């Protein structure tokens, strides 16, 4: 039995996709604060994330991270294998990267459907598959996957047909992979974020009427912060959640309870 806290990630290496901004960035920083080493993956500049890691390290000691940039159409297996071969064993994977397209269902295009489904669902599956294959080749044969679902995994929403379909699929996929891989030593769970303060929600927060409507629905009475999702991810990546499989945890300030 280890002497480390059940919530510690010390000695663990975690890959986080979409770590260049927003929720992914918050997850990466939370993992670092919990003692884990982070492989931060993104398709755009990681300068802001790297600067935040430097600031955290200056305040609380060394926080280990490595940034890897990949192109838009990279094969998930090649990405996972490259990161694994370069950084060594990866203990956990956070499938955070995702996009959204907005249009009325009557006007929604095949392009907008395919773009979202490819990144939000197809990549999640094949990156998880690649991770599981490598994990099962190691002596430990243990790993953890955390998928980022959505409130729209539970609700329908409007004007985001492919996003709702993809995030509903993420929750279903989380359950399927848990059923197949739990006995193999791989935990697969998900987080469904509520309304979080990121650049993606800046326009909503800047609109007084829409901001008031959203806050009026949230029992906690505030927007979430990326660190709220990050801390939940740490729990699902740490030993504390070893007996959790196939769960999607809403971190939404109580939104779904209304």
Catalytic residues: 163
CA nearest neighbour of 53 among 68, 42, 69, 37: 37
Angle among Cα 13, 117, 39 to the nearest 5 degrees reads: 15
Round to whole Å and give the CA distance between 198 and 100: 14
What is the three-class DSSP state of 59? helix
Of 116, 129, 141, 36, nearest in space to 78 by CA: 129
Do residues 204 and 196 lie in contact, with contact meaning Cβ atoms separated by under 8 Å? no
Q: Which helix (H) or strand (E) holds 26?
A: helix 22-33
């Amino acid at each position: 039995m280890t002497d480390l806290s059940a919530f510690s990630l010390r000695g663990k290496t975690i890959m986080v996709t979409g770590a260049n901004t927003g929720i992914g960035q918050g997850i990466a920083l939370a993992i670092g604060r919990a003692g884990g080493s982070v492989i931060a993956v993104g398709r755009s500049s990681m300068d802001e994330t790297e600067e935040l890691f430097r600031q955290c390290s200056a305040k609380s000691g060394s926080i280990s991270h490595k940034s890897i940039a990949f192109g838009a159409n990279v094969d998930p297996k090649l990405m996972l294998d490259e990161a694994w071969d370069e950084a060594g064993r990866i203990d956990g994977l956070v499938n955070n990267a995702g996009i959204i397209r907005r249009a009325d269902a009557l006007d929604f295009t095949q392009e907008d459907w395919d773009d979202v489904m490819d990144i939000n669902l197809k990549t999640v599956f094949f990156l998880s598959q690649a991770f599981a294959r490598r994990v099962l080749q190691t002596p430990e044969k243990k790993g953890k996957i955390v998928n980022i679902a959505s409130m729209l995994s539970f609700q329908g929403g409007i004007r985001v047909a492919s996003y709702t379909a993809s995030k509903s699929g993420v929750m279903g996929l989380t359950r399927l992979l848990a059923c197949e891989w739990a006995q193999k030593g791989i935990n697969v769970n998900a987080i469904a974020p509520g309304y979080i303060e990121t650049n993606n929600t800046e326009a909503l927060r800047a609109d007084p009427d829409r901001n008031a409507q959203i806050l009026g629905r949230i029992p906690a009475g505030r927007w979430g912060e990326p660190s709220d999702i990050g801390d939940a991810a740490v729990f699902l990546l740490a030993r504390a959640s070893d007996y959790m499989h196939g769960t999607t945890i809403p971190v939404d300030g109580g939104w779904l309870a209304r």
